[in-house]
Structure 1
Amino acid sequence: MDGSSIMEFKRLLSNLMRARFPFLYITTWEETRAISVISDTANDEELIKTVRKVFTWSVTRGLEENGRIISEDSNEALKCLEFIESYEEPAVFILKDFHVFFGSDSRHEDYQVIRKIRDMLPALKQSVNPKNVIFVSPTFILPNDLQKDVTIVDFDLPSFAEIKGMLKEMIEANRVNGRIVMDLTPDDEERLAKAALGLTLCEAENAFARAMVVDGRLDIKDVDVILEEKRQTIKKSEILEFIKTDIKIEDVGGLENLKRWLHKRNKSWMDSAAQYGLPAPKGILITGVPGCGKSLVAKAISAMWQLPLLRLDIGKIFGMYVGTSEENMRKAIQTVEAISPSILWIDEIEKGFSGIADGGDNGTSSRIFGTFLTWMQEKTKPVFVIATANNIHALPAEMMRKGRFDEIFFVDLPTKKERKEIFNLHIRKRLKEPKVIGDFQLTEEILHLLADRTEGYVGAEVEQIVIAALFEAFSEDRSIQLNDFHKAIRNTVPLSITQAEQIQRIREWANVRAVAATPKEDRMEYIQESVAPEPPNPGDSEIGSSRGGRSVDF
C-alpha cells in the first residue's frame, strides 16, 4: 500500500468498526504490519471517533495489551472469548491464527468455539461501548456456521513507496557500518524496489539482504537476485507460477497481424502513453487450432514488453473449505496487481471455467468466474491478461463481451509464407555443428519445397518434422539430408486431417467474432498457392482453402 492505499484501508476499517461489525477477518502473512495499521486506526480519533484499546491474542501468550499479559488462562480460546464478551470499555481484539478452531487439514472444527462466537453476536452489537473482534491469519478458513457473521477485509501487499522506504533504511544502515559496498543511483534504487513488488516487507528485506551478502555489494545487477526470490515466493503459493522465458517475438513464425497489434501497444502502461490519454491495454483472447503457437505468443509478449509473466492455474484456485476458493482468487488478483505492470497468462481458459452452468459445486465456480470477470472489466492496475483457448465454444458468452478483452485473435493453420518462416526458425536454431550440417544448405528453394509439402500442418507439427529429420541423421551418425525432412513429412498425419470437423467449426465461429492473427495478404496467398501432388495433403480439402478470422489489419 502507498500512503493513499493505507488511508483507504484505514477508512474502510474505521467505518466497519464504527458500524459495529462484530467480526472481521484479515488474511495476511504480514501479521506485524497488519496489527500496526489496526492499532493506528483504533487510536485515530478523527477516523474512529471513539478511541479504543487494542488487545492481541495468541494461543501461546493469551490476551495482551501493550505486551502485558491480561490473565494466565486467557490462552484458552473459550476463556479469551468470555473475556471479550464481558469487557465493558471500547476495544479492538486482534485474534491471531484463530482459523485453527475453524477446521483445517490437521484438525476438525471446534464446535464449542464456533458456538461461543455466535452467542457473542448480540453482546457485541448491543454493548454500551463499541467492541470489534478481528481475526488475523495467513490462512483463510471459515466454517458454514459463521459465513453470515464474519466480514472479510482485504489487506494489500506493500506498495512501491513502502518497499523503497525499507530499502533506503537498509542502505543507510549498511553504509554506516561500511561492510557492504553501495553502488546505486536513485534510478537503480527505484528499479530494485519495483523488482520487489509483490513480496511482503519481510520477503523484500530478505531478498535485499541476500543480494548484499552474495558479493558484499548492492548494485543494479542484483535485480536478478530479487526476481529469483520473487519466483520462489510465487512458487510457494501454488496458484500462480512465475514463468521465466527467453523466447523473443522474432521466434514466433508468422502471425504478423497479431505482432503489429502488440508492437503498437508496447510501453502503453507508462507515463508517456498517459499524455495521449490512453488507458493500459486490458488483454487479448487467443483462440484457434491447437499447436499453432498460442502459448508461444504469450511467452514472447513477456520478453517483448519486458514484463513479468505469471501463469494462473484455475484448477488450483478451488479449495475444500467454504470461502477458500474465493480467497484464493482474491489472493491471485492481489499478487498480480501488486507487481504490476505485469502479464497474467491463463492457458486453455475454457477448461478452467468449464461446468459453470451446472452449479454442481454450490455455485463456487460461478462466484469465482464472476469475481474474475468483474476484475477484468473494472481493473485499474496495468495487468495485461492473455487467455488462450482451443475449444472456444466451451467458454461462457460473458467472457467474450466487449470490455473484457481488447481483442479476440484467431490463429489458423499457418499459411505457406508462415510455414517457411517456421521451418527457417527451427532448422537454423538446431543446425549449428558443422558435422551435422555437412553439405546441406538451407536455401529459399528448399524452404519453398518443405512449405509446399506441409500444407495443413500446424507450427508444432513443423517443429516435430525438423526434430524427426535430425533423429534420422543422428541414428546413422551422419549429416542431415533433404530426404530426412521428406521422410518425416510422409510419416506425419496432421491435425487438419484428424480434427478436420473441429477446425472447421472454430473457423466458422472466428469468421464473425475474431480478428485473424495472419494478415489478409498472407491469407490470400494461401488460397492461391497450388498444392504439391506428393505426399497427399489436407490442403486439397475444404480445411486448406477456407481461412477463419475477420479481415482486420493493424
Structure 2
Amino acid sequence: MAFRDALSQLLKARFPILYLESFEEQRVIAEVSAVAHDATLVRTPRAVWTWSLTTGLVQPDGTPRKSTTSPEDALDAALRVDQPSVLIFKDLHPALGGDRPGTPGVVRRLRDLAAAFKSGPVPRTLVLISPLLHLPPELEKDVTIVDFPLPTETEIRQVLDGIIAANSASGRIRMALDDLGRERFAKAALGLTLHEAENAFARAMTNDGVLDGRDLAVVHEEKRQTVRKSGLLEFVDATVDLADVGGLENLKRWLAKRDGSWLAEAAAYGLPAPRGVLITGVPGCGKSLTAKAVAAAWGLPLLRLDIGRVFAGLVGSSEQNMRTAIRTAEATAPCVLWVDEIEKGFAGGGGDSGTSARVFGSFLTWMQEKTRSVFVIATANDFEGLPPELLRKGRFDEIFFVDLPTRAERTAIWRVHLARRLRNPAVAGGLAVDDALLNELAGFSEGYSGAEIEQAVVGGLFDAFSERRALHRDDLLRALAAMVPLSVTQAERINAVRSWADTRAVAATAAEDWDLATRPGAAGPGAPSQRGQGGRAVEF
C-alpha cells in the first residue's frame, strides 16, 4: 500500500501516535502535510504543527509558541490544541530512551496524550519523526510504527532531470545521457535518500565536466557508504570484466543475455528481473571471479554477504542480522549479491538451537519471494553440503557446474594471465606470447585449474625475479612441473562432483570447447565424464 493511502487510513481511524523512522525530515513533513490538507484523503482537513528542540512548538501559521522548547512543555501544549491537527515532533527519541530508561515525564505525557487524542471531540494525531527507532516498553501499545519508504525511481528521476536542466543552460557541464542512460542513473540511485542522490549526481557532474555512463561509479560510491554502515555486507570493487574470465562461454552467454533485464525495457517484454545463479564445481576454476566480473559487466554494485557476520551476538540477533542484510541489499538494488561458499555458511550444527535453520529459512523465503532487483550469485565447492531446498526451482534461475578447464579454456586462461603480468617489456623480454606458446602451455597444463595456472605464472615470475632477468618459457614449465594439481590429489572427489552434476546442473563450458577427439571418456586427470561436459549439455 502506498504511504499516503496508509497514512490517510490511520488518520481517519484516529490512531493517536504514529512513529516514522527516517532521516528525511523535510520529505516526511511534506508527505504528511499533503495528506493532512487533502479532504479527499482524510475527510476533515487538519492543521499541521511542528516541534523541535531548537524552535519549540510552531503553529500552522509559522508562529512559535513561547516556552515550548522542552519536550514536556511542548506535549502539554499539544494536549491543549482544540482543532483538527497533526502535530509533528522531530527527534524526540533521546527522551524516549529505547532499550534505556526514558525521561519519565515525557513517557507519562505521551500516554496521557494517546488517551486524550483517541477519545477527544476533534481528530488529532501526534507524529514522531526520528532517524532511530527508540520505543520504551511502556509505549508499545500506544504507538504505531509506520514505514516511510525511500524515494521511488520516479522521485529520483525528477531530481536528476532537475539537476540536468539547471546545469545544461550554463554550458559548463556537458550532458551525454540519453533516456536509457537517465533510467540507469535513477535506478542506480535507488536506496539513497533524495539528498544523497542529489549529492551523487552533483558530484558525478563536477567530476570531469561531463555526465555520461562512466559516472555511474560515483553513484555506486555513494551507495558504498550506506552498505558500510550496515556492518553486515561488504561492498566489493569489481574491477575485472567477463573477458578476464578464461573459458566458461556457456555461462558467459547466459549472463550476457540478462544484461539490463532489470530495466523498464525488459519489463515491457513481460520479463521478470532474474533471481540469480548457483555456481558449483571444482575449486579454483573461476566461480568467485565470475561473480566479480558479472557486476562489472552489468555496471551494478557488488555486495558480498559474509554469513559469519550474521551468526553473532545475543540470542535472536542472527535472525535480525539476516533481515538487516536483506534490507540493505534491497535498498541498494539493482545490485549483485555474492554469497561465497554458501554450503559452509549455512552448515550449522546440532548445538546452535536451530539458529542456522531459522536464518537459512529466512534467506530461502526471501529468495523465493523477493521483488527487488537483487541478483544472487552463490558459489559452492561441496555439493554434499547443499540442502535440497536450495536446489529446487524458484530459488535460482539456473545451476551451473564449472569443471576443470578444457584445452581451449586453458589457452584462454594462459593468455589472460600472461597479458596481465607481462606489461613491462623488461619482464617479458623476448618471450613471444603467440599461439604456439599458448598451445604448448595448454598441453602441459592438462588437469590444472585456472587458479593453478595463475600460480604457475606467478611462480615462473618469482624464478625470473630472483635472478633479475626476463621471464623465459622454461620458467613456466618448471613451475608447472613442481606443482601437483588438485586433479591428482583430489581425483576421487572431482569424479564424484562430476557424477553429481551430470544430471543436476548445466555445464558452464560450451559444448564446442570440449575436444573429445583428443580427450575421450576419462582419459587423464582433467578429462570430463563420458558425457563430455560434467553437467547437462545445454546451449544458450
TM-score (norm 1): 0.79
Distance in 1 (alpha carbons) for counterparts of 2:348 and 2:97? 28
Letter in 2 for 1:336: T
Query: Letter of the aligned partner of 2:392 in structure 1?
Result: R
8 Å Cα contact 1:511-1:548 kept in structure 2: yes
Look up the match of 1:72. Answer: 67
Whether 2:108 is the aligned partner of 1:108: answer: no
CA contact (8 A) 1:245 1:299 kept: yes
User: Do 1:234 and 1:242's aligned partners in 2 also have CA atoms closer than 8 Å?
Assistant: no
Identity of aligned residues (%): 47
Question: Would the alpha carbon gap of residues 529 and 507 (structure 1) be closer, same or farther in structure 2, given more than 3 Å must change?
Answer: closer
Please give the secondary structure, in 2, of the residue aligned with 1:136. strand
Partner of 1:33: 27
Aligned to 1:402: 393
The question of 1:553 aligning with 2:511 is answered no
Deviation at 1:480, TM superposition (A): 1.9
Structure 1 residue aligned with 2:380: 389
Contact 1:199 1:233 in 2 (8 A): no
Question: Do the aligned residues in 2 keep the contact of 1:140 with 1:327 (CA within 8 Å)?
Answer: no
Amino acid corresponding to residue 280 of structure 2 in structure 1: T
| 1:43 matched residue in structure 2 | 37
Distance 1:454 1:545 in 2: 22
1:293 CA displacement: 1.1
Tell me how many residue pairs correspond in the alignment: 530
Task: Find the residue that maps to 2:2 and give its secondary structure.
Answer: helix
Structure 1 window deviating more from structure 2 (199-208 vs 107-116): it is 107-116
CA distance in 1, matches of 2:410, 2:92: 60
CA contact (8 A) 1:456 1:544 kept: no
Does the alignment pair 1:298 with 2:294?
A: no
Quick check: 2:228–2:235 contact (8 Å CA) kept in 1?
no
Higher mean C-alpha deviation, range 46-55 or range 122-131: 122-131
CA distance in 1 between counterparts of 2:435 and 2:163 reads: 59
> C-alpha separation between the residues in 2 aligned to 1:110 and 1:320?
25
Which residue of the partner structure matches residue 415 of structure 1?
Answer: 406
Once the two structures are superposed, residues 434-477 of structure 1 have per-residue CA deviations (whole angstroms, 9 ceiling, x without a partner) of 43333434455544454444444322122111111111111111
State whether residues 26 and 136 of structure 1, in contact with CA within 8 Å, keep that contact through their aligned partners in structure 2. yes
Q: In structure 2, what is the Cα distance between the partners aligned to 1:219 and 1:48?
A: 43
Q: Distance in 1 between matches of 2:122 and 2:451?
A: 69
2:368 is matched with: 377
Aligned residue in 2 for 1:227: 219
Structure 2: state its 5+ residue gaps: none
Deviation at 1:250, TM superposition (A): 2.0
Structure 1 277/71 Cα, relative in aligned 2: closer, same or farther at 3 Å? same
8 Å CA contact 1:289, 1:413 repeated in 2: yes
Inter-partner Cα distance in structure 1 for 2:348 and 2:466? 47
Match of 1:51, SS state, is coil
Q: CA separation in 2, counterparts of 1:467 and 1:198?
A: 41
Report the Cα offset of residue 214 of structure 1: 5.4
The answer to whether the 8 Å contact 1:55/1:63 transfers is yes
Q: Measured at CA, do residues 218 and 475 of structure 1 come closer, stay the same or move farther in structure 2, by a change above 3 Å? A: closer
**Normalized against structure 2, the TM-score is what?**
0.80
- Whether 1:258 aligns to 2:254 is no
Deviations 1:232-290 (A, max 9, x none): 53454345555443422222112122122223333434455456443332221222333
Q: Which moved more, 1:245-254 or 1:435-444?
A: 435-444
Q: Distance in 1 between matches of 2:235 and 2:128?
A: 30
- What letter matches 1:432 in structure 2? R
Structure 1: unaligned runs, 5 residues or longer: 1-6, 532-537
Deviation for aligned residue 1:28:
2.3
**What is the CA-CA distance between 1:160 and the residue it aligns to?**
3.7
What's the C-alpha RMSD, in Å, of the aligned pairs?
A: 4.2
Which residue in 2 is equivalent to 1:488? 479
User: Which of 340, 365, 382 is the matching residue for 1:347?
Assistant: 340
Distance 2:479 2:22 in 1: 55
Q: Please state if 1:457 is matched with 2:444.
A: no
Write the distance in 2 (CA, Å) between the matches of 1:404 and 1:387. Answer: 11
**How far apart, CA to CA, are the structure 2 residues paired with 1:119 and 1:502?**
69
SS in 2 for 1:69: coil
The offset of 1:420, in angstroms, is 2.8
Question: Residues 196 and 502 (structure 1 numbering): CA distance in 2 closer, same or farther, change over 3 Å?
Answer: same
Q: Measure how far apart 1:409 and its partner are.
A: 1.4
- Kept in 1: contact 2:521–2:529 (CA 8 A): no
Question: Does structure 2 retain, via aligned residues, the 8 Å contact 1:57–1:63?
Answer: yes
Label 1:539 to 1:350 Cα distance change in 2 as closer, same or farther (>3 A).
closer
Distance 2:420 2:12 in 1: 65
Deviation larger for 58-67 or 282-291: 58-67
Q: In 2, Cα distance between the equivalents of 1:222 and 1:61?
A: 44
Deviation of 1:553 (Å):
3.2
Hey, what does 2:57 align to over in structure 1? Answer: 63
Equivalent of 1:166 in 159, 162, 166: 159
Q: What residue in structure 2 maps to residue 4 of structure 1?
A: none
1:138 aligned onto 2:131: yes
Displacement of 1:182 in angstroms is 4.5
Label 1:269 to 1:221 Cα distance change in 2 as closer, same or farther (>3 A): closer
Match of 1:335 in 2: 331
CA distance in 2, matches of 1:355, 1:147: 34
Moved more, 521-530 or 302-311: 521-530
Matched-pair contact (CA < 8 Å) for 1:325–1:368: no
Q: Secondary structure at the match of 2:50?
A: strand
